Structures are given as structure tokens and as C-alpha cells.
Amino acid sequence: MSMTSQNPASPGDARETVLVIDDSPEILGIVNDLLKREYRLKAANGGEKGLALAAAKPTPDLILLDIMMPDLSGHEVCRRLKADRSTRDIPVIFLTGMNNEADEAEGFALGAVDYIAKPISGPILLARVKTHLAAKSAADFIRDKNVFLVGEVSKRAREMEFVQDVTILALASLAETRDNETGNHLRRTQHYVRALAEHLQRHPRFSLALTRTNIETICKSAPLHDIGKVGIPDQILLKPGKLTVEEFEVMKTHTTLGREAIENAEQQMGRSAPFLAFAKAIAGSHQEKWDGSGYPEGLSGEHIPIAARLMALADVYDALISVRAYKAAMPHEKASRIIVEGRGSHFDPDIVDAFVALQAEFEAIAARFCDSADDFPATSDPGARP
């Protein structure tokens, strides 16, 4: 057989491929005669040529490698094979006329799976080749199965994430159809929350809670903050003027209605999920105030969930700068002063500090997702709601 040749594969030839790298024509001939009936063979009479054949498609299933060769030693060839992603998983069996434990130890350290001593014994060669090809086949099966399973898990995760996103958007859109706010309000507040959370991610008070995963989940849940408004009567929800004390008490129930709706859904499913936990916190507590004067439970300070504290500032800021049926829009500078005045009373002080640092980004988000001037008939009274 040619010293740098390979046996041509016939159509449908499913035999495994063995590459032999040895500078001895005699050894190449012996190996060819022993293996050609059961395996496809590639052969090279030097290390460089062997590396080229190892990288050529189809890659061999096993390599028989001489240690002592004039151009590259077998150890160097093995080192290069194991350093190459395309060949590192091919099992290597050294062919050697040396009986040196140090050489064997070096070979195994480089990643070889076995040694066959010269002169070559036919039965030993056949048995070792068969054993290591079987082991490689099993390893390949497991690896391919793992790749498949990882792909399936990833696919299922994407499907679950899609269902989750659709659920959130559907619920938020349902509330939006009844409210006098726009879908852009949902987008703006979602982006405000993200900006605040990412800014505070390195803050010692927030670093443990605001992980990358939690930030993503909080941002996805943010549009559900007013889902409870679907339970508020139209004459209150859509009233253009100032609410009475009694009407405002009804309006305040949108927080508990939203949280209870999510809790009921959890109970019917028989399980919870991280995004639902954040959604409950945001829907139920985004009207709480740092000093305990908010609603529905009068929570204060750290007792208010972080997601709700972020949403509180984002929601108030957007309400201030936006046109509503009961109020005119407020300029950013005035809205910012109101937010800063609420530091330590309405809002978590550190979240206000983050807002101050991010004012340019808040303005950019507001501009990017601005409402049409015709969306709402503005009134001249910016304080029409209590």
C-alpha cells in the first residue's frame, strides 16, 4: 500500500477508519494485512503527513502511531492531535519497539489510550483495535446523546420562555385595554426598571438580589404591575376628574386584585415560578412607600420587595411625564425634582440616587417610547387624581 494513501471507501461502506502513522514500510504492510478486511485504512510514513490525514474528512476513528520517526516523534504528533479540537477525541495507540516505562508514562500523559509492542502480534493488534474502537463508539454515542439532550432542554427552555413572555404580554395587554394608559407606558416602565436594576447590581444592598437572571425576570414581570386594574369599575378607572375618597379606596384595590389573580393562577397550576413570584411582588406592592404610608399593606423600608421598589419609582416618574385623560404631561426637570423630594419618604433612597445618576437614560427611554400627542385629551389640572 502507498505510504501516504488511504483505501477508497465504496458506497455504503460503514466500516470504521484506522489511520496508521509509521515510517517503516514493513510495519505499514503488516498492519494493512491484519486490518484491511475489517476496517478502512489510511496510512502515512511520517508525522506531518499523519497529522494532515488525521485532520482530513472523514476523520479516523482510531490512530496507530509509531513513537520513533525522523520528522516528528510520535509524542509530538500525539500532543498536536490532542491540542486540535477536530482530532482530540480520536483514540491513539502507540506502536513501539521500546520497553521503557518513562516513555509509556509520557504517552499516557499526552492522552494515548494504549501501547502495542513491536514486533506486532496479530491477535493482540486486532483485539486492542476492536476494544478501543468499541470504547470510542460508546463514548461517541454518549456524547451525541448528551448533545441531543442539551439541545432538547434548550429547545424546551426556549418554548417555556416564549409561553411565559406571551402570558405576560397577554395579561398586560388585557389591563391596557381597560386603562387610560398606553402600551408605551408598559415599555417605558420596563426599561426604567432595567436601567435602575443594572445600575444597582453592584451596590452592596442589592447585589445578591439583583442577579442577571433576576433582573431579566423582574423586567419581564414589570408589565404586570397594573394587571389588577381589570377589576376596577369603568366609572372609577376611566373617570377624567378627581376621585372621591371612596372611589380612591376602590382604585387602591387594583394592587391586591392583581396579586390575588396571580396567586389563583398558581394554585390552579399547582406550582409556582420565579417570574410569578416577582409579578406578585410588583403587582401587590408597587404602591407601597418607603416610609410606610403607601398601600395596600403599609409596608416600609426593606419590607417592600426590591422589585416593587424599583417599579414604584419607574411608575411614578412615567406617570408624571405622561399625558393622561385627567392631567397634562410634566417636564422631566419638574418630575425629577418630585422624585428627589420623595427620597427616603416615598422611595428607597438608593434607588433615587440611581435615578439621579441615570436621568439622561430615563429621558432617552421616554423619547424612544413616547406617546402620540393625540393619544389623550389633556386637562389643565395636573393634580386631578389623589
pLDDT at 175 over 80: no
pLDDT above 70 as % of the chain: 88
247 and 125 within one domain? no
Query: Euclidean distance between the first and final Cα of the chain, in Å?
Result: 94
DSSP label at residue 66: E
- Find cell 437572571 and name the residue: 213
pLDDT at 71 over 90: no
139 and 187 within one domain? no
Lowest mean pLDDT among 11-20, 206-215, 311-320: 11-20
Lowest mean pLDDT among 10-14, 35-39, 104-108, 343-347: 10-14
Domain count, the chain: 2
pLDDT at 42 over 90: yes
189 and 296 within one domain? yes
Q: What is the pLDDT of residues 282-315, one digit of tens each?
A: 999 999 999 999 999 999 999 999 999 999 999 9
CATH of the domain at 32: 3.40.50.2300
- Does 236 reside within a domain? yes
Of 126, 148, 170, the last residue of a domain is 148
pLDDT of residue 58: 86
234 and 135 within one domain? no
pLDDT at 228 over 80: yes
* Cβ-Cβ contacts under 8 Å for 277 (sequence gap 6 or more): none
Closest listed residue to residue 178, CA positions, set 256, 265, 239, 107: 239
pLDDT at 378 over 70: no
Rounded distance, CA 229 to CA 6, Å?
75
- Does 174 reside within a domain? no
- At 66, the pLDDT band (50, 70, 90 cuts) reads very high
- At 324, the pLDDT band (50, 70, 90 cuts) reads confident
- At 12, the pLDDT band (50, 70, 90 cuts) reads low
- Does 325 reside within a domain? yes
Residue 102, Cβ density class (10 Å: 0-12 exposed, 13-18 middle, ≥19 buried): exposed
pLDDT at 323 over 90: no
pLDDT of residue 8: 52
125 and 205 within one domain? no
**How does the average pLDDT of the chain come out, rounded?**
87
- At 142, the pLDDT band (50, 70, 90 cuts) reads confident
Distance from CA of residue 285 to its chain's centroid? 28
- Does 159 reside within a domain? no
206 and 71 within one domain? no
pLDDT of residue 240: 79
> Which range of residues forms the domain containing residue 82?
17-148
- Does 167 reside within a domain? no
Largest Cα separation within the chain, whole Å, is: 103
- Does 296 reside within a domain? yes
Find the mean pLDDT for residues 58-76.
92
Nearest 5°: the CA angle 361, 366, 369 is 120
pTM for the structure as a whole: 0.59
353 and 264 within one domain? yes
pLDDT at 267 over 90: no
- At 264, the pLDDT band (50, 70, 90 cuts) reads confident
364 and 323 within one domain? yes
pLDDT at 223 over 70: yes
CATH of the domain at 206: 1.10.3210.10
pLDDT of residue 203: 96
